[in-house]
Chains A and B, each alone.
Chain A
Amino acid sequence: MSSANPSRRAPFLAIYAALVFCFVYLPIVVLVAYSFNRDGVGGFPPRHFTLDWYRQLFADQGIWNSVLNSLIIALGSVALALVLGLLAALALDRAEFPGKALFRRLVLLPLILPGIITGLSLLMFANVAGMQLSLFTVFLGHGTALISIATTELFASLQKMDRKQEEASLDLGATPWQTFWRITLPNLKLSLIAAGLLIFTLSMDEIAVTFFLIGADNTLPLEIWARLRRGITPEINAVSSLIFAVSVALIIIWYRIRVRGIGAEPQEILERP
């Protein structure tokens, strides 16, 4: 009964949903369309298709330096957040220690607090510790804030994992170290890749925390931010379109890995434990 051609039963709802989709995607479509517009951002309709803005972008040394900085930070953050997130997930899954509930909440805080709070707190920390602001402080901020993502993904996956394999391995005389490398880690492989992709994307895009921790060298989002103060050009549309395309590709791969049924559901990442 309720499954009999359900969409026909709610035509207004279907139209409303379509409009919401338009709202979500329209800005992106506009952004991409005007990156090919010879006459700049604005006016309607966009006329005179051109690839000049992309050519200009590829010749722009400032942008590529910032892309390199962002890549280094993102890869560093992936490594840091995965190692600490894996340990944290194992600890939450298997160990009892005082303050466990607090620890669990604390790890997730950077994900649910406004970025300015996390950014400022780390700025004060760097100041008190006498650290110069640089790409290193940005890496520290991203890596620490994104442990939350790795912990949630890997914890969910550990909870679903069959402990019997590990028990068998230990019973048959393998050391805990061997068991970890040969049983635990291979079981977590897909979750590690999924978490890594998400951490990479979020680090490449991050701006609120970075804003307060940046030194002399810009990351890509902050380079774009600095250029926006000088005015809008379709070159920024071009680089934004490329960022969008790369992010979408990574997110789709991330999602495909998840659909195979390991790790957390996408919504679980945003759910508070």
Chain B
Amino acid sequence: MYSRLYKTIVSAPPLLWVGLFLLLPYALIFAHSFWAVREGVVVHEWSLRNIHTLISNPVYFEVLLRTMRIAASVMLFSLLLGYPLAYYLSFHAGPRKELLYQLVIVPLWVSYLVRGYAWKTILGSTGVLNGFLQYLHITQQPVGYFLYSPFAVVLMLTHIYTPFVFLPIYAALEHIPRPLVEASQDLGASPHSTFFRVILPLSIPGLLAGATFAFVLSLGDFLAPLLVGGPSSTMIANIVQSLFGAANDWPLGASISVCILLITVSLLFLTERVEKRWSFK
């Protein structure tokens, strides 16, 4: 139905653009990771020196481990908050469902910075939470460790990614054919076993998609540690950011980015495989 000319006109510009401004830049990360820096200038000498540095200096591995711990906590807490919320909306919210759904997706698209900043004002030693605790005479002195700790980073990122986790889970729950649930109940299953043997397995694809989002996006976050984390919660992307800034070693920064990229892409690939297997369509 569409002529060859039509097809060329619609596909050539986006292909060229994406090739030039997306594929080529991503490829440049890989290229830089094999290059070196001399007197502050990137030189195009191919070597494995950066990878060697990453392996031989334990600092990088330690920070990567801490980052993964933080990302895993964010994922876990977002699931603990997002799943029951999605389940409630999908099965029990009744006529308020639509309104509640909108209430969850609005913050999803609203400024990361605004939400992070809000936490900074709440958690600070002269912040709102400390003011509240002193007002109720629960504490006498301001508590210093709310802000500038890994706890604050996990809290802020959980707040940001809970709606992200909610969304695919809710979609998966909404796609569960209701007759399946009713059949389970009619055949005498308790609500408990209906949930664990029918609903939960059928929502695994959504759960996995949400979990991956939270983990992957937290893994590459560098703004939360700068905003609320402090030195004790430096994450791997903060090292990258300083290597591209003050430390001025782009190739080393690029090779850490390649690690983040590889972890991310392999996780996405893996969960996609598992999602396909669990999906009943």
8 closest cross-chain pairs (CB), A and B: A114-B220, A44-B131, A121-B25, A27-B118, A91-B11, A95-B7, A88-B14, A267-B171
Interchain CB contact (< 8 A) of B18 among A90, A103, A265: A103
C-beta contact mask, B95-136 vs A, less than 8 Å → 1, else 0? 000001011111101111111011111101011101110110
Interchain CB contact (< 8 A) of B105 among A1, A2, A244, A266: A266
A84 to B106, CA, bound (A): 26
Nearest chain B residue, comparing its CB with the CB of A265: B171
List 27 contacting pairs A-B, 8 Å CB cutoff, sorted by A.
A23-B162, A24-B104, A24-B163, A27-B119, A27-B122, A43-B128, A84-B18, A87-B10, A94-B2, A106-B23, A109-B26, A113-B220, A114-B219, A114-B221, A115-B220, A116-B220, A116-B260, A117-B29, A117-B220, A120-B254, A121-B29, A122-B21, A140-B21, A176-B6, A205-B114, A211-B241, A251-B106
CB neighbours (8 Å) of B159 from chain A are: 23-24, 27
**A34 within 8 A of partner (CB):** yes
CB neighbours (8 Å) of A42 from chain B are: 121, 124, 126-128, 130-131
CB neighbours (8 Å) of A135 from chain B are: none
**A221 within 8 A of partner (CB):** yes
Interchain CB contact (< 8 A) of A114 among B14, B29, B114, B264: B264
A110 to B237, CA, bound (A): 16
**A97 within 8 A of partner (CB):** yes
Contact A112 B268 (CB under 8 A): yes
**B3 within 8 A of partner (CB):** yes
**A6 within 8 A of partner (CB):** yes
**A51 within 8 A of partner (CB):** no
Nearest chain A residue, comparing its CB with the CB of B237: A116
CB neighbours (8 Å) of B264 from chain A are: 112-114, 117
Contact B2 A176 (CB under 8 A): yes
Beyond A44-B131, A122-B25, A224-B117, whether A272 also contacts B2 by CB under 8 A is no
A247 to B13, CA, bound (A): 31
A170 to B1, CA, bound (A): 9
Looking at the complex, which of A9-17, A58-66, A71-79, A186-194 is the stretch in contact with chain B? A9-17
Contact A243 B124 (CB under 8 A): no
Interchain CB contact (< 8 A) of A240 among B92, B118, B122, B261: B118
**B182 within 8 A of partner (CB):** yes
CB neighbours (8 Å) of B7 from chain A are: 91, 94-97
A195 to B163, CA, bound (A): 20
C-beta contact mask, A39-66 vs B, less than 8 Å → 1, else 0? 0011111000000000000000000000
**B164 within 8 A of partner (CB):** yes
Contact B10 A13 (CB under 8 A): no
Q: Name the distance in Å between B175's Cβ and chain A's nearest Cβ.
A: 10
**B94 within 8 A of partner (CB):** yes
Nearest chain B residue, comparing its CB with the CB of A229: B226
Beyond A205-B111, A248-B110, A255-B105, whether A121 also contacts B14 by CB under 8 A is no
A166 to B93, CA, bound (A): 42
CB neighbours (8 Å) of B144 from chain A are: none
Please report which residues of chain A, range 159-187, place their CB below 8 angstroms from some CB of chain B when the two chains form the complex.
Answer: 163, 166-167, 170, 176
CB neighbours (8 Å) of A96 from chain B are: 7
Contact A228 B107 (CB under 8 A): no
**A208 within 8 A of partner (CB):** yes
Known: A10-B88, A13-B88. 6 other contacts (CB 8 A): A2-B181, A13-B84, A28-B118, A116-B220, A144-B17, A271-B171
**A36 within 8 A of partner (CB):** no
Contact A114 B92 (CB under 8 A): no
Contact B220 A232 (CB under 8 A): no
Contact B171 A244 (CB under 8 A): no
**B189 within 8 A of partner (CB):** no
A211 to B93, CA, bound (A): 41
CB neighbours (8 Å) of A68 from chain B are: none
**B229 within 8 A of partner (CB):** no
**B146 within 8 A of partner (CB):** no
Contact A2 B185 (CB under 8 A): yes
Contact B250 A124 (CB under 8 A): yes
Beyond A122-B21, A228-B120, whether A41 also contacts B216 by CB under 8 A is no
Beyond A244-B111, A272-B268, whether A14 also contacts B13 by CB under 8 A is no
A7 to B85, CA, bound (A): 13
A17 to B92, CA, bound (A): 11
Interface centre among A7, A20, A107, A244, by most B CB within 10 Å?
A: A20
**B207 within 8 A of partner (CB):** no
Contact A117 B105 (CB under 8 A): no
A235 to B103, CA, bound (A): 26
Contact A117 B261 (CB under 8 A): yes
